[in-house]
Amino acid sequence: MYDIIVIGAGPAGYEVATLLAQGGKNVCIIEKDENRVGGTCLNEGCVPAKNFLESATYIKKSTYFKTCGVDMSLNSFDIEQLKNNTNKLICELRSGILGKLKKSKVTIKYGTASFIDKNSVEIDNEVIKADKIIIASGSSHKNHPLIDLSEDKIISSKEVFSLSSIPKSILIIGGGAIGCEFATFFNAFDCKVELAEFTPKLVPIEDDDVSRTLKRELEKSGIKVYLNANVTSYEVLDDGVNVDIDLGKKKEVKKYDKVLISIGRVPNSLSLNLNNANIENSNGFITVNSNLQSISNKNIYAIGDVIQSPALAHVAYYEAKRVAQIILEEDVMSEKTIFPSVTFCSPQVASIGQSEKELKNNNIEFKTKKIFFKSNGKAKIKGDDSGFIKVIYDIDSELILGASIIGNEATELIHQFLILINTKSTLKDISKMIFAHPTLSEATLDLTHM
C-alpha cells in the first residue's frame, strides 16, 4: 500500500509526485505509457508548438534581415527535419522528468487507471491502494459540435505535429491562444490562413484593445480573420474540405486543403470511473474545495486541467505545490494568486492581474497608461515595433492592478509586472528604477513618464 497514488504524469502529476516523495511519502504515479510522460504540454502542446513557432519566427524576420544586409532567403523547408528536431527535444525533456521521478524514488506504473473504491485503483488488472489519491489526468482536444475530425483533412492541434507537408490553405476554427499560434506558424510558410472565431474578438480573455491590435497585425501579415463566425456545415472531398461559414449578414462557402479545430479542451476523467470513489464532477471537471480536495471524498485531490482552473502548465505546477504542502503539513501558498496568461503568436500577447473588464464589472475605479513599441529603440533594432505595453493602476494610490502587453517578447516582459504587482509597487516606484538601455524592458520605465 502506498501513501499517495498520482494519476497522470503531466506537469501537475510529476511535480506533485516528486515533491511528495522528496517529503518522505511513498508515492506511485500512473501514466498510460512511457511516451506519454510529460502530458499534453510536453508531447503535443506547449513544447512542440513553441518549437514549431520558433522556426516561424526566423522566417518572418528574414525580410527585415535583408534591410540589414543579411540575405536569409528561404530556399527550402524540411518539415521532417523540424519534426525530428521537435521529437528529439521532447525525448530529452521526458528523460529529465523520468530521471527526476526515479531520483526521488517515485514508483512509476504504466497503464490505464480507474477507481475501484475510494482508496483503490485498478491498472490493467492490478489493484493498488493508497491513503490519498491525486487526480492529475489532464485534458484532451474538445470536439466541435458539428465537425468531426477526418483523417488528415480535419485535424486537431495534436495532428499538426505529424503533418507530412505544409498545406496550401487552412481554416483554423477557434481564435483563442492555440488557434492564433498555429495561424502564425502556417502563415510564415506561405500557407493561406483563414481564422474563424465564434465570439466578437480574438483571444477573448484579453482586453479589447489587445484583441483589436492582434487582429490588425494578423491581417497585415496576410491572415484572414472572421469574427462572430459560425461554421454551419462542411463536406470532406478527395482534395480538401468545403466549409460553410455563417457571418450573420452573409455566408461564405470556401474550400480549404485542411481544417484545424481549436475550440478548447475537455478533462480526461471519463475513463476513471469516478462514481466508484464517490467523486463529484461537473461536465467531467472534478469539483474541489479551496484545498483542491474533492468535496465528496476527502481522500481525493485533483489538480491541473481536470479541474475548472485555467488550463495552463504553470497554474498546474502551482496547484501541485499547494497540494504537496497541504499533505506534508507545511506552510501552504495562497489559494488566490496572480499568474501570467501568454500567447506565443506573432505579435506575442501577455497579461497579468486584473483586466479592464474585470475592474469595470466590480465597479473599481482605475486608470491606464500605454506606451507603444514604436517609440522603443530596441524594438526597432529587432525589426518589430508593433504593439504596446499597458499598465492598469488605482487612481488614488497608483498601485499597479494589472498589465497587458502585445508585441516583441511580450511573454517574457510580462514577468516584470508579476513582480511589481506581488510587491505592491506603484507607478512612482517604477519611476525611481534604472533600466538598461537600449532594451524592450525600459519601455516600462518610459511608461511612467507619460
Active site residues: 437
Count of C-beta atoms within a 10 Å radius of residue 387: 23
**Could you give the dihedral angle defined by the CA atoms of residues 321, 322, 325 and 326, in that order, rounded to the nearest 10 degrees?**
-150
User: Rounded distance, CA 129 to CA 117, Å?
Assistant: 9
Alpha-carbon distances of 106 from 14, 31, 225, 246, 360, rounded to whole Å: 9, 13, 48, 52, 47
Classify residue 69 as left (phi > 0), alpha (psi -120 to 50) or beta.
left
Question: What cell does 429 get?
Answer: 516606484
Hey, which bits of 304-418 come out as E strands?
341-343, 348-353, 366-372, 387-394, 400-407
User: Rounded distance, CA 142 to CA 394, Å?
Assistant: 39
Alpha-carbon distances of 289 from 4, 267, 316, 355, rounded to whole Å: 19, 18, 16, 25
SS3 32: coil
Amino acid at the residue 355: S
Of 319, 303, 393, 389, nearest in space to 353 by CA = 393
Residue 357 C-beta-side C-alpha neighbours within 13 Å: 10
> Considering Cα of 443, then 355, then 215, then 313, what sign does the dihedral take?
positive
CA angle 13, 19, 24 (to 5 degrees): 125
Question: What cell does 97 get?
Answer: 522528468
The answer to whether 152 and 53 are in contact (CB under 8 A) is no
Amino acid at the residue 427: L
Classify residue 306 as left (phi > 0), alpha (psi -120 to 50) or beta.
alpha
Count of C-beta atoms within a 10 Å radius of residue 296: 16
User: Rounded distance, CA 309 to CA 316, Å?
Assistant: 9
